[in-house]
A and B are shown apart, each in its own frame.
Chain A
Amino acid sequence: MPNVVYFSEDALLAGIRSEDESAVAYLYKQHYPMVLHLVLNNNGSEEEAKDIYQEAIIVFLEKIREESLELNCLIKTYLYSVCRRLWLKRLAFKNRFAGVVSESDTFLEMAEEVADLEDREIKFNKMAEALELLGEPCKTLIEDFYLQDLSMQTITDKFGYTNADNTKNQKYKCLLRLKKLFFNIYKIKVERD
């Protein structure tokens, strides 16, 4: 990956919006030590630091690309605040040192951000679960068509169906099954809350 230095946050944000990999890598590497430091100094492991950092980064990237985030602070402050909140939750969940984090930086209260982040995480996990339950070959078929945007013909060849219409029918059947599975799991989850 090229060693690009981004001198301003605006340039970095523009890079992220245009799906520039080097911008993402730069952002990731720039702020990871801060979060690692936070977690290690508060009874965490490197693995946990990576986990929450990636969660925060992902939601940040998604929101920037969706243009649904109005950033009124430094990227660093945003990431730190989200990670801090996430880590507090994890600590509370582990039921020790609840809510005590030694601060090393400025932060904002990010209750809504984190709630939103968790919703997204749940949605993602449920979809992953639903796809697992769907089983082969439906899972691959759906992924190829909807995620990788492969053409009908390529998929037909790959799966060895006789023609594209057959594939199409198969795909719709798979989609309907996925729909049932997903809404079942998702609704259960929503009701439990």
Chain B
Amino acid sequence: MKELEAFKQIEKYFNDQLSPEALTYFEQQLQTDPEMAEYYRQYLQLDSTLRFYGKRKGLKAQLNAIHNEMEATAENQPTAERKVITPFGDKQKRKIFWHQHYATIAVAASVAILTVFGTLMSIDVWRSMGKQQNARYTALRREVEKIKNSQRALVQGYNGADARVAPKPLPANFSGTGFAISSDGYLVTSYHVVKDADSVFIENRAGQRFRVKNIYRDQTHDLAILKIDDADFTSFGSLPYAFKSDLSELGERVYTLGFPREDMVFGEGSLSSKTGFEGDTTSYQISIPLNPGNSGGPLLDSQGNLIGIISGQQLDQQGASFAVKSAYLKQLVEQLSQDSLNVPIKLSTKNSLSWTSRPEQLKKIKDYVFMVKVYNN
């Protein structure tokens, strides 16, 4: 009977149904009475096992229900559908295969995609780069071949061991053409010929060299004005050509003199457009075949008026060369005379070439056209 009472007490204890006095008494009993403690332990185990049993029983029933439902749905499906033989193998196996290899497959696929698009893009970029290069405007300054130079230097060093021979002038890095604009030693050439120059010399047809000291640059119109500063130089004398400030007409016969190689070369054509590269209104388009080294050369019309300064050509078009209009040269000279110079530059206005034949004109002009040699190292 004691056991029954003990169980009642324990259950009440668990359900919080004990009065405060009974509670303290019960807790005391737990501490002191070993029999009571044993009952307590047994109750705990029984209770937990019962609960565990109950839950598990419920779960089993639930799982059985799920299983039956699953089998019912599986049986409802037509059996024919379940045993389809496909060329791709068993579905379960495919699933396993996919699970085992999906990471590798994903990496391979991404690499493939990247490669394809990378290749396409780089081909595209490469093509557009080629096009850009074709459409490019080239300035016609001449880059002197380096290999030839160094070979020549080697041969020189090999032959001439004696120091008595005066050293020959070093070959220049770049060369262009320039021409006189006033008798007291001013010349004009293209800006791109003398840009990043360390020192500039001009050389006439006879091989006489003058040192140039001051350079006035006008990058926007691709012009540069040089001043000879040399003890040997006195004066050019009066210039045979005059500078034209009006626009010349389409179809006018024009010609130029320049130094695309070591000797002076004549080129002739006509004025084909009043605008230059990509609609540039500061220059003309002319149909004279030009080569690197022609830059900075004078462009004259049949009357011997100076109408422009050769500047460059377009590579992807046949016979499209450009020359800066002489009006901009005049403008530059005026600005320079006002701002930077003590003594203004006097452009020649007298034209002694009109109504003379072409060879006569050339004979007079050639002394005023120079090769511009640029050193930049």
Contact = CB atoms under 8 A, between A and B. Distances in A.
B49 A28 contact: no
B18 to A, nearest CB: 15
A176 interface: yes
Query: How many B residues are at the interface, by size bracket?
Result: 20 to 34
Interface string A173-184: 101101100110
B67 A62 contact: no
B5 to A, nearest CB: 9
A54 B50 contact: no
Interface string A103-136: 0110000000000000010011001100100000
Interface string B1-31: 0011001100100000000000000000000
Interface in B43-69: 43, 46-47, 49-57, 59-60, 62-64, 66-67, 69
Contacts of B96: 104-105
Contacts of B56: 58, 62, 120, 124
Contacts of B11: 172
B60 A28 contact: no
Contacts of A37: 92
B295 to A, nearest CB: 72
A176 B50 CA distance: 13
Contacts of A24: 62-63, 66
B53 A124 contact: yes
A20 B155 CA distance: 97
B49 A127 contact: yes
Nearest to A29: B70
- Chief secondary structure at chain A's binding surface: helix
Interface string A1-28: 1000000000000000000010011001
A93 interface: no
B63 A176 contact: no
B238 interface: no
Nearest to B56: A124
Contacts of A120: 52, 56
A137 interface: no
Given A172-B4, A179-B42, A28 B59 contact: no
Given A29-B66, A54-B67, A123-B52, A176 B7 contact: yes
Contacts of B64: 54
Give the interface centre of A32, A175, A183 by most chain B CB atoms within 10 Å: A175
B238 to A, nearest CB: 96
Contacts of A57: 63
Given A54-B60, A62-B56, A172-B8, A25 B50 contact: no
Nearest to B64: A54
A28 B68 CA distance: 12
Interface in B172-196: none
A2 to B, nearest CB: 12
A122 to B, nearest CB: 11
A54 B64 CA distance: 8
Given A24-B66, A62-B56, A173-B4, A123 B49 contact: yes
A176 B62 contact: no
Given A104-B96, A105-B96, A173-B4, A21 B62 contact: yes
Interface of B: 3-4, 7-8, 11, 42-43, 46-47, 49-57, 59-60, 62-64, 66-67, 69-70, 92, 96
29 contacts: A21-B62, A24-B62, A24-B63, A25-B66, A28-B66, A54-B60, A54-B63, A58-B59, A58-B63, A61-B59, A62-B56, A62-B59, A104-B96, A120-B56, A123-B49, A123-B52, A124-B52, A127-B49, A131-B53, A142-B50, A146-B47, A146-B51, A146-B54, A172-B4, A175-B46, A176-B4, A176-B7, A178-B46, A179-B43
The 3 closest A-B pairs by CB, nearest first: A147-B54, A127-B53, A25-B66
Given A29-B70, A127-B52, A146-B54, 8 more contacts: A33-B92, A54-B64, A54-B67, A58-B56, A58-B63, A124-B56, A143-B54, A172-B4
